[in-house]
Structure 1
Amino acid sequence: MSFSGFTNEDFDTFKIDGLDDRMEALKSTIRPKLEELGRHFAPSLSALSGDEMFPHVAKHARRTKNPPNDTWVAFASNARGYKMLPHFQVGLWETHVFIWFAVIYEAPNKEAIGKAFEDRLDKLYKEIPKDYVWSGDHTKPSALPHNQLSKDELKSMFVRLQTVKKAEILCGFHIPREEAVSMSPDQFIEKADSVFRNLLPLYKMA
Structure 2
Amino acid sequence: MFDKNDFKVFDDMTLSGRLDLIKTNLDPKFEVFGSGLLKHLEDEYQQQFFMKIAKHQRRTKNPPPDTWLAINQDKKGYKKTPHLEFGLWPDRYFITFSLLADIRDRQKYYPVLRKYQDQIVHEGWGVSNDHTSSKLLSADNFEKVITHYQKVKSSDLVIGFELLNTSQEVIKGDYDQILKDKFLQLSKYLVDFNQEISSQN
Q: Report what 2:83 is aligned to.
A: 87
**1:168 counterpart = 2:156:** yes
Q: Secondary structure at the match of 1:144?
A: coil
- Unmatched 5+ stretches in structure 2: 195-201
The letter of the residue matching 2:173 is M
Q: Report what 2:54 is aligned to.
A: 58
The letter of the residue matching 1:196 is F
| Structure 1 pair 161–109 and aligned structure 2 pair: CA distance change class (3 A) | farther
Aligned length: 191
| Structure 1 pair 48–155 and aligned structure 2 pair: CA distance change class (3 A) | farther
Deviations for 1:47-73, whole angstroms, at most 9, x for unmatched residues? 344531111100111111111010000
Task: Compute the displacement of 1:125 (Å).
Answer: 2.6
**1:177 counterpart = 2:168:** no
The letter of the residue matching 2:74 is N
Task: Compute the displacement of 1:181 (Å).
Answer: 5.3
User: Of 180, 183, 186, which aligns to 1:196?
Assistant: 183
Task: Compute the displacement of 1:108 (Å).
Answer: 1.6
User: Deviating runs (4+, > 4 A) in structure 1?
Assistant: none
| Structure 1 pair 200–13 and aligned structure 2 pair: CA distance change class (3 A) | closer
Contact 1:115–1:158 (CA under 8 A) maintained in structure 2 = no
Q: Report what 1:24 is aligned to.
A: 20
Deviations for 1:58-112, whole angstroms, at most 9, x for unmatched residues? 0111111111010000001123421111111110011010011111223122222
- Unmatched 5+ stretches in structure 1: none
**1:140 counterpart = 2:133:** yes
**1:102 counterpart = 2:80:** no
TM-score (norm 2): 0.85
Task: Compute the displacement of 1:168 (Å).
Answer: 0.9
RMSD across aligned C-alpha pairs, in angstroms? Answer: 1.9
TM-score (norm 1): 0.83
Q: Secondary structure at the match of 1:27?
A: helix
Task: Compute the displacement of 1:172 (Å).
Answer: 1.5
> Percent same amino acid among aligned pairs?
27
Deviates more, 1:43-52 or 1:64-73: 43-52
Task: Compute the displacement of 1:201 (Å).
Answer: 4.3
Contact 2:129–2:148 (CA under 8 A) maintained in structure 1 = no
The letter of the residue matching 2:4 is T
Structure 1 CA distance, aligned partners of 2:33 and 2:144? 33
Task: Compute the displacement of 1:32 (Å).
Answer: 0.9
Contact 1:133–1:172 (CA under 8 A) maintained in structure 2 = yes
User: Of 96, 111, 114, which aligns to 2:107?
Assistant: 111
Task: Compute the displacement of 1:15 (Å).
Answer: 2.1
